Amino acid sequence: MFFKLLTQLSLLLTVMVGGSGVVDTADIAQISRPQSTADYFAALDVELHSEGGDTHTSAAVRDMSECKLVLSKGLQVLPSFHMLALNDLTLNFTTEGKRGMAGAGNLIIKCSVESDMELLAVFIHEMGHIVDGNALTGSGEMPTAFVDLGKTVSADDPSYSYYKYSWVDDDVLRPGASANDFCSTYGMTDPYEDFAECYSYYILHGNEFRLAMGRSPVLAQKYAFLKDYVFFGREYVFDAGFENPSRSPIVYDTTKLSYNYGQL
């Protein structure tokens, strides 16, 4: 446990003193991180489970080590306090059900997602839910119209400011809201998918996000919120050469977009 806490503190300090700037492969190489996949998972104070076995049942299913290797790429680029919000991680090895689910510090990821690129994107999207619900929190003493997984969002919860950019409550968009104000049309489902989709978009499609926000003041507000309050000034470039500057049509699901997986 002491090793875990020491490693987590080291990672957190790395993020806090790293300052702002666009992250590229060279930047990542300079970040002090555990040296192996096993070390990444050992350093996390997380309950790790598996469902449906941990070996191949079809050509599309990874085994435990292969799935962890993909997810470790996400752990390398996420700020440490984001990882500290994750309490329980379940690796699902079935081919049925949703690709991922997350809430209240618990995350389930389906290791049978077809490509490594998509699997990592789904994991990062689900980490967006973890950060939204378990890292950005309020006192609970100032209730708002937003209720996430049965828990009323407090007015002093940082996420409340983000939700208000596009939402009146869990179901109602603000007057004048349009698809251009969102990172994907799936993000228009509710405020929580809005946050998770833009969280993933911010990390894996930073160039395109920065281009898109020039055409939507609301999207620019969302980018600024993520940059200032979620990533503390750090920006990312993993989509060079894959950008769609016009965003026409706007993608339904950011986890289906291509990016430079090999740079992670």
How do residues 129-177 score in pLDDT, each as one tens digit? 999 999 999 998 999 999 999 999 999 999 999 999 999 999 999 999 9
Phi, psi of 217 (to 5 degrees): -60, -35
Any domain includes 114: yes
Give the DSSP per-residue string, 39-59.
HHHHHS--EEEEES-SS-SST
**Does an H or E element contain 70, and which?**
helix 64-77
Q: Phi/psi class of residue 97: alpha, beta or left (left: φ > 0; alpha: ψ in -120 to 50)?
A: left
Number of domains in the chain: 2
Query: Residues of the chain with pLDDT > 70: what percent?
Result: 81
Whether 168 and 247 map to the same domain: the answer is yes
Q: Which residue has the tokens 């991680």?
A: 89
Cis peptide before 34 (omega within 30 of 0): no
| Torsion, Cα of 56, 60, 61, 62 (10° steps) | 90
Each residue's pLDDT tens digit, 196-242: 999 999 999 999 999 999 999 999 999 999 999 999 999 999 999 99
Give the structural domain span for 224.
139-263
| In a domain? residue 75 | yes
**Do residues 77 and 33 lie in contact, with contact meaning Cβ atoms separated by under 8 Å?**
no
The residue with greater pLDDT, 153 or 95, is 153
In 3D space, the residue among 162, 51, 144, 142 whose CA is nearest the CA of residue 98 turns out to be: 51
Q: Does residue 94 sit in the same domain as residue 110?
A: yes
DSSP strand E in the chain: where?
A: 21-23, 47-51, 88-92, 100-103, 106-110, 143-148, 151-154, 234-236
**Does residue 194 lie within any of the structural domains?**
yes
Residues 125 and 15 in one domain: yes
